[in-house]
């Protein structure tokens, strides 16, 4: 995968979906504005959408008391040689098995132990022992476990595939609000969307995606990551994308373990996942698995770097996977913008290369030019996958001695070619060209106005102890009084602003560093984009004139120091991924802190960077659909239409002069939200394992649990303000969206200080109510919560803000609909959920026109009658928790609901047979199609739900192997459990391209796979079945990594009104009772003649589909159709005899029976 996000989508299946193709990670020093439904992510400078697993949230802080004396990396670490006598190793006694390196600085809240070693072949390794919560367990697996492992290895791995990510239910719809993991406030970076620029905060998708992300953060015990210090910069000129392609190919079997999907199958069998990504100067591989199988997984994984097969037969098939990944990336404005930016580099600089690779560069062109791709691939591996370029991190519940023994034994076999690591540091100033300092007008795929101002600076890595760009971005991205965004919002010119430098190789490498400011503009802001740019330049000039302020620097230090000191633990696989890259960048003592802490205040370093941010050195990129028809240039690889021009002369002359400062722009005041009280509070009621209801009145109820496990001075507050008013009409749903967005807009300035002080909040427009989510240090948390409720109680809007938000909401709805995957989900849920208002319904209601008066009337009615349900957890007493609910009730002064209301939709009962709903995609420039085949089960028990989880675990790897690896149908291929408003089902989804396949061919192949899978599980051995059951049990037994995970799980029970807080225990008991025949019979029952099957096809544009209307992606038009309506397509002869067409969803569903409301609690 070329580029955390993201963290994967709901269907991500480890390496496969998470990414394998593009350089980049998440924004590093990113101060961001959060405005839901306002496409705020669209403004992020150079987000890296294709690498969901690579986004890292970075904070900066200073912790002087923790800084050791600097030591050279080579002197600090110990050299471990294969077969060395541990008792003779320098730095510790052989009788002590878990002593870490004192040079490595860590947080006082971090219970893990660390040790650095360097193997004889030059590979550097960081060993992380996490023995917390071990309760006396020893570090090594028992002999019995090893024997069991050997027995399982005798089974065919393909018989017991499992995927931890898709084993959980897809909780849709109103449940979507129940879902928020600890990263909920960083979802622009994470989340899982495939594209940061294209990431709408779409509540239609959010819950199930976060549920999968949450599962990933709770299910992993042991993890490893390896960073090769070489990336796409090393691509040969005649084989663009080779580094990325190699990252794919090493997964395809090794000399010791020759099965193509053997490693993935092994991980799925034992509750694990894997991923990889290629950046400009680094390539990262990572995996996680149950602790019991960690050693064997390490051995299998290490073969990627010892002796991968990379057989010729696999080349063409995996090229198709790379090409599909590229095709999926093409409709992304982030990728297009980034590729265009790279093309501005000086000729010969590696930034101008095509890092993705596709069928043209890796197959067709090489064949035409008599280039042996297979031979060159092996050459590239031998030259660049050398041990002395590699940094390895392993984390497990083993002693450091055990981990050192394993790493030395396994990874010492990686060859060292003795050649110097490629160095690009001499290729500085790649953008010191006439083409850079221009205005570029770009036609985006989505409806958006955005201005990005970029400077290319000298590499800043050497200044990591000062982090000058972090200091600057903290001020530029501020949203409080006196900030750029505050000023632009008051003029209704901008909705969001992102400023800073990302950690992606694209934004920071050995040749340059980028500083970008990206602003999401309103329609008015687009008309005044030069004035917007001038405001930015005025603010920067003000900073340059004032010079660095020690007060500001120390405030950032204090905030980040608090967060570092009381940090919560993170998902091991994300942690090791981060650490293996840190090892490439920082000395030993700063492995854990180099990317976070501000160590030294050096105003001259900050000033040097700040003084380069002048108009004369800036590159301006203006994205807008209004540019269509005015752009005469086209970027080669993504087909982006653009034009290049000089900055308008009057502005150019003004910016050369000593222009006046703006008196409305100034530095932020001292932050009143910074916590100073970190005492842990005493219990004022009996300790409980699960939340208890401590308030229950007609107006609301409150669930509460005092934390006594993680012992950190933080708290989580969640409230659901439920109202039957929202779903009464499509117009009401839209008014509710507008209301929540304006409320968020109104809070942006007053709440921003709390936000930067690690008090985080989010307002979510749920299906049935307003969700308020607040978390952070408990000391000042009540101030933020009361501020939110005050603004809710006194809600108002000006006509200008109303117009601004509604215009932006139109763009958001439009941008959701033009993505095939989100349209497919909208269509499926519109069929299944009675009384659901589709995104198209909402878009039409908004386009028909709504008034400010209607909004204020709606809000008044909404606030007048509610039921409020809350959950408070963490370092807070029961008395304080009750005060939160009391404040809501007193401040809003609402009446209770006349009758209890469900927070679910009713679901239709599909008739027997195979129904097909086939519609056109809404973007004629997009070749991507989405095919989902869904099997409805019905109102089932918790036991049957757990059985379905087990089924999907078995299904995932063979599904991937058949549909992607062998059939090469698409890049995204996955089965999913689906819990649709309490009604169970499962589905198989394939993302394909109309330039390669007809959607009905894909549908037939899915059916072919399911038929083969039925035979596969029928022949499953009892041992293989029991192994899979054990794997799922182990996943459910894993302890939470941090408080947020426990809160998420409890909140999901509250917001869905199921209240089964010990659900995992019930599911484990159910798993222990299953037999193989239960699984086989359940699957056959849902695949037989009476099965209820629904296929949803969203059909892209290409030669195998809609040929008469096709406009190939990136050629004559990049824009989506303006008419937002479903166009139903006829069934071809391929499926006409085996399916029943749906050509009018409302007509079809009006004849169906409704299933009763159902909760999966028994």
- Token pair recorded at residue 1149: 């569903």
Would you give the DSSP letter of residue 597?
Answer: B
Q: Do residues 1112 and 917 touch, judged by C-beta distance below 8 A? A: no
**β-strand pairing of 31-32 with 913-920:** unpaired
Give residue 66's Cα distance to chain centre: 32
Helices (H), 723-873: 730-756, 781-793, 799-817, 820-832, 839-848, 852-864
Phi, psi angles (nearest 5°) of residue 953: -60, -40
Concerning whether 147 is annotated as a catalytic residue, the answer is no
Beta-bridge partner residues of 895: 865
Q: Which strands form 913-920's sheet, in the order they lie side by side? A: 169-171, 972-980, 983-993, 928-938, 1092-1099, 913-920, 1140-1141
Residue entry with tokens 């129940």: 178
Phi, psi angles (nearest 5°) of residue 519: -125, 125
Residue 914 to residue 1140: CA distance in whole angstroms: 6
Q: What is the dihedral of CA 884, 888, 890, 892, to 10 degrees?
A: 170
Q: Do residues 109 and 562 touch, judged by C-beta distance below 8 A? A: no
Helix/strand/coil for 194 = coil
User: Burial level of 97, CB count in 10 A (0-12/13-18/19+)?
Assistant: middle
Among 212, 355, 365, smallest CA distance to 281 is for: 355
- Token pair recorded at residue 211: 């549920």
Residue 720 to residue 1009: CA distance in whole angstroms: 42
Identify the active-site residue in 165, 177, 212, 247.
247
Residue 381 to residue 359: CA distance in whole angstroms: 20
- CA–CA–CA angle 509, 635, 498 (5° rounding): 50
DSSP 871-923: EEEES--HHHHHHHHHHHHHHH-PBPPSS---SS--BB-PPSEEEEEEEE-S-
Residue entry with tokens 């005060």: 883
Element (H, E) at 599: none
Q: Do residues 265 and 153 touch, judged by C-beta distance below 8 A? A: no
Beta-bridge partner residues of 974: 989
Q: Do residues 428 and 458 touch, judged by C-beta distance below 8 A? A: yes
Among 458, 428, 335, smallest CA distance to 46 is for: 335
Measure Cα distances from 1037 to 106, 219, 271, 398, 708 in Å.
28, 8, 12, 18, 19
Q: Do residues 430 and 345 touch, judged by C-beta distance below 8 A? A: yes
Beta-bridge partner residues of 977: 169, 986
Give residue 774's Cα distance to chain centre: 20
Active-site annotation, residues: 247
């Amino acid at each position: 995968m070329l580029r955390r996000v993201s963290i994967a989508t709901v269907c991500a299946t480890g390496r496969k979906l998470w990414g394998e193709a593009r350089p980049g990670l998440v924004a590093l020093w990113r101060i961001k504005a959060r405005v839901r439904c306002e496409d705020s992510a669209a403004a992020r400078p150079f987000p890296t959408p294709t690498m969901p697993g690579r986004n890292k949230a970075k904070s900066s802080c200073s912790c002087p008391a923790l800084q050791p004396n600097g030591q050279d990396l080579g002197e600090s670490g110990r050299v471990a040689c294969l077969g060395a006598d541990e008792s003779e190793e320098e730095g510790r006694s052989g009788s002590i098995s878990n002593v870490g390196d004192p040079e490595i600085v860590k947080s006082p809240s971090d219970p893990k132990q660390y040790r650095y070693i360097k193997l004889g072949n030059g590979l550097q390794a960081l060993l992380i022992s996490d023995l917390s919560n071990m309760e006396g367990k020893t570090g090594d697996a028992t002999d019995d476990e090893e024997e069991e492992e050997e027995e399982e290895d005798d089974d065919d791995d393909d018989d017991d595939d499992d995927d931890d990510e898709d084993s959980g239910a897809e909780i849709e719809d109103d449940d979507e609000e129940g879902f928020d993991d600890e990263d909920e406030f960083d979802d622009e970076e994470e989340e899982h969307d495939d594209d940061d620029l294209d990431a709408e905060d779409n509540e239609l998708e959010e819950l199930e995606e976060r549920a999968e992300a949450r599962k990933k953060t709770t299910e992993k015990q042991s993890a490893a990551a390896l960073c090769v210090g070489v990336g796409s910069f090393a691509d040969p000129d005649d084989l663009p994308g080779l580094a990325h392609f190699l990252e794919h190919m090493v997964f395809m079997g090794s000399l010791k373990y020759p099965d193509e999907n053997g490693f993935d199958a092994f991980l799925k069998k034992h509750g694990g996942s894997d991923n990889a990504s290629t950046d400009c100067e680094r390539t990262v591989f990572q995996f996680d698995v149950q602790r019991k199988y960690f050693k064997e997984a390490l051995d299998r994984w290490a073969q990627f770097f010892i002796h991968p097969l990379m057989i010729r037969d696999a080349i063409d098939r995996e090229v198709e996977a790379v090409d599909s990944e590229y095709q999926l990336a093409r409709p992304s404005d982030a990728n297009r913008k980034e590729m265009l930016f790279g093309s501005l580099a000086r000729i010969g600089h590696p930034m101008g290369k095509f890092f993705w690779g596709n069928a043209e560069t890796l197959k067709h062109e090489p064949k035409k030019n008599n280039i042996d791709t297979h031979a060159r691939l092996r050459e590239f591996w031998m030259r660049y996958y050398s041990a002395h370029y590699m940094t390895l991190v392993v984390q497990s519940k083993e002693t450091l001695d055990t981990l050192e023994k394993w790493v030395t034994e396994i990874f010492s076999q990686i060859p060292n070619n003795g050649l110097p690591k490629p160095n690009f540091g001499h290729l500085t100033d790649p953008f010191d060209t006439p083409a850079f300092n221009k205005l570029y007008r770009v036609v985006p795929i989505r409806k958006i106005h955005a201005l990005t101002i970029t400077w290319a600076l000298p590499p800043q890595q050497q200044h990591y102890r000062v982090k000058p760009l972090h200091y600057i971005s903290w001020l530029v991205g501020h949203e409080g009084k006196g900030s750029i965004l505050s000023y632009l919002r008051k003029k209704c010119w901008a909705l969001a602003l992102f400023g800073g430098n990302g950690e992606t190789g694209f934004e920071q490498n050995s040749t340059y560093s980028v500083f970008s400011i990206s602003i999401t503009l309103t329609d008015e802001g687009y008309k005044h984009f030069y004035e917007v740019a001038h405001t930015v330049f005025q603010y920067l000039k003000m900073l340059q004139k004032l010079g660095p302020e020690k007060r500001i620097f120390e405030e950032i230090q204090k905030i980040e120091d608090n967060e570092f000191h009381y940090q919560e633990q993170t998902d091991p696989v994300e942690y090791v991924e981060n650490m293996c890259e840190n090892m490439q960048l920082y000395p030993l003592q700063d492995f854990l802190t180099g990317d976070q802490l501000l160590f030294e205040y050096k105003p001259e370093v900050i000033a040097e960077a700040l003084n380069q941010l002048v108009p004369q050195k800036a590159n301006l990129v203006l994205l807008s659909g209004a540019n269509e028809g005015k752009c005469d240039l086209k970027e080669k690889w993504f087909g982006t239409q653009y034009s290049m021009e000089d900055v308008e002369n009057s502005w150019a002359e003004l910016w050369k002069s000593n222009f006046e400062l703006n008196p409305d722009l100034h530095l932020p005041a001292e932050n009143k939200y910074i916590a100073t009280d970190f005492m842990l509070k005493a219990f004022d009621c009996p300790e409980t394992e699960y939340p208890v209801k401590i308030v229950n009145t007609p107006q609301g109820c409150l669930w509460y649990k005092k934390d006594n496990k993680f012992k950190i001075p933080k708290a989580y507050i969640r409230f659901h303000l439920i109202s039957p008013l929202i779903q009464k009409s499509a117009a009401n749903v839209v008014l509710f969206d507008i209301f929540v967005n304006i409320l968020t807009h109104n809070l942006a300035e007053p709440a921003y200080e709390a936000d930067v002080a690690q008090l985080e909040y989010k307002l979510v427009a749920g299906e049935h109510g307003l969700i308020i989510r607040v978390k952070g240090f408990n000391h000042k948390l009540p101030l933020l919560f009361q501020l939110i409720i005050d603004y809710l109680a006194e809600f108002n809007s000006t006509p200008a803000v109303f117009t601004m938000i509604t215009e932006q909401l139109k763009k958001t709805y439009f941008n959701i609909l033009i993505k095939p995957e989100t349209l497919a989900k909208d269509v499926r849920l519109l069929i299944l959920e009675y009384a659901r208002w589709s995104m198209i319904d909402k878009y039409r209601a908004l386009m028909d026109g709504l008034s400010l008066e209607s909004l204020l009337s709606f809000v008044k009615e909404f606030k007048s009658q509610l039921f409020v349900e809350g959950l408070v957890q963490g370092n807070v007493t029961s008395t304080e928790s009750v005060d939160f609910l009391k404040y809501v009730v007193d401040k809003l002064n609402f009446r209770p609901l006349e009758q209890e209301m469900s927070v679910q939709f009713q679901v239709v009962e599909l008739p027997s047979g195979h129904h097909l709903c086939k519609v056109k995609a809404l973007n004629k420039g997009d070749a991507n199609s989405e095919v989902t085949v869904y099997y409805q089960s019905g109102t089932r028990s918790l036991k049957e739900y757990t059985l379905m989880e087990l089924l999907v675990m078995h299904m995932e790897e063979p599904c991937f192997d058949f549909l992607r690896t062998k059939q090469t149908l698409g890049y995204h291929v996955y089965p999913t459990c689906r819990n649709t408003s309490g009604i169970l089902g499962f589905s198989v989804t394939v993302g394909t391209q109309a330039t390669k396949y007809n959607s009905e061919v894909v549908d037939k192949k899915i059916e072919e796979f399911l038929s083969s899978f039925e035979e596969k599980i029928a022949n499953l051995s009892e041992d293989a079945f029991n192994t899979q059951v054990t794997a799922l049990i182990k996943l459910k037994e894993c302890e939470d990594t941090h408080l947020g995970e426990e809160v998420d799980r409890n909140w999901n029970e509250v917001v869905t009104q199921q209240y089964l807080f010990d659900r995992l225990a019930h599911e484990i008991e159910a798993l222990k009772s299953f037999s193989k025949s239960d699984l086989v019979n359940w699957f056959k029952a849902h695949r037989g003649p009476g099965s209820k099957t629904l296929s949803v096809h969203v059909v892209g544009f290409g030669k195998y589909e809609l040929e008469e209307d096709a406009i190939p992606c990136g050629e004559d038009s990049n824009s989506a159709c303006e008419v937002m309506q479903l166009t139903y397509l006829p069934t071809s002869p391929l499926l006409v005899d085996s399916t029943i067409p749906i050509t009018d969803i409302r007509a079809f569903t009006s004849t169906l029976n409704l299933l009763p409301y159902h909760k999966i609690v028994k």
